[in-house]
Amino acid sequence: MVKILLACLLVIPVGLQAQSSNSNSSSIVAPDSSAGGSPSAQQPQATSGGFFSRGVFTPSMHDAPVGSFTASYVYQYAPDLAGANRSLMGWSATPEVNFTKYLGLQAEFTSLYMRSVYPGQDRLMMAAGPRFNFAPHSRFSPFAFAEGGEIRATRKLSDVSDWNPVATGGIGLNYKISRGISFQLIPGEYVGQLQDDNSWNHSFMSKAGITFNFYK
């Protein structure tokens, strides 16, 4: 009986020492695992960058651009122009800069060709004015604009150009395909042109194109 008690007294301290050593080793390993962490925990979070750092096709974050450039196809219907109702087609380039989220300035350069007269006539409109953005953080962003400028009309068989004042105004919608690219539709743009006889010709434009958005 005494031998059994002595054996128990020897076994119990050894077991306690082994248990304490195991707990110490686990406590040492735990900080290492927490310090190492999983790759997902240590992965740096994506920071918001500009147009070139994030890329053109990065998903939209619904923030407001500081500027844009739009290339569009243009159709113009001009009643009672050069003695008849005319249809003109061409292209437009529109750079734009935003002073605030809701107010910007745009410049429009529109080139049109009129085939329904002989000889054919080229028209170049250059105008600029304020632009008002109503929902700059939304994927669907409506806007309105007003411009003033000049139209140059040039006939194909001569180098004579005729310059006339022009005033425009319209509404449009931008749909963000990605952070850097939007689809732009201008269903109606009024164009008032002062003609040589001091009368005004009233016409209407429609545009559809692609907008490249720029961010800080």
**CATH number of the domain residue 87 falls in:** 2.40.160.20
pLDDT > 70 fraction of the chain, expressed in percent and rounded: 67
pLDDT > 90 fraction of the chain, expressed in percent and rounded: 47
Residue 35 lies in a domain: no
Residue 24 lies in a domain: no
Cα end-to-end span (Å), the chain: 87
- Angle (CA) 111 141 149, round 5°: 30
Residue 10 lies in a domain: no
Domain with 116, as residue range(s), is: 66-214
Residue 29 lies in a domain: no
The pLDDT value recorded for residue 137 is 84
Residue 54 lies in a domain: no
Q: Residue 196: exposed, middle, or buried by beta-carbon count in 10 A (0-12, 13-18, 19+)?
A: exposed
Helix (H) or strand (E) holding 131: strand 121-133
Q: Using CA atoms, how far apart are residues 186 and 64, in angstroms rounded to an integer?
A: 19
Domain total of the chain: 1
The pLDDT value recorded for residue 135 is 86
Three-class secondary structure of residue 59 per DSSP:
coil
Residue 185 lies in a domain: yes
Mean pLDDT estimate for the chain: 78
* This prediction's pTM: 0.67
The pLDDT value recorded for residue 117 is 62
pLDDT tens digits along 144-198: 999 999 999 887 767 778 899 999 999 999 999 998 999 999 999 999 999 888 8
Three-class secondary structure of residue 18 per DSSP:
helix
Read off the pLDDT band of 116 (50, 70, 90).
low
| Highest mean predicted confidence (pLDDT) among 1-15, 25-39, 82-96, 161-175 | 161-175
pLDDT at 53 over 70: no
pLDDT at 210 over 90: yes
Question: What tokens does 66 get?
Answer: 């500081």
Contacts 24+ apart (CB under 8 A), 193-202: 193/151, 193/164, 193/165, 193/166, 194/164, 194/165, 194/166, 195/164, 196/162, 196/164, 201/78, 201/79, 201/80, 201/81, 202/79
Residue 166 lies in a domain: yes
Average pLDDT (121-128) is 92
Residue 4 lies in a domain: no
pLDDT tens digits along 65-77: 899 999 999 999 9
The pLDDT value recorded for residue 145 is 98
pLDDT tens digits along 78-105: 887 766 788 889 999 999 999 998 999 9
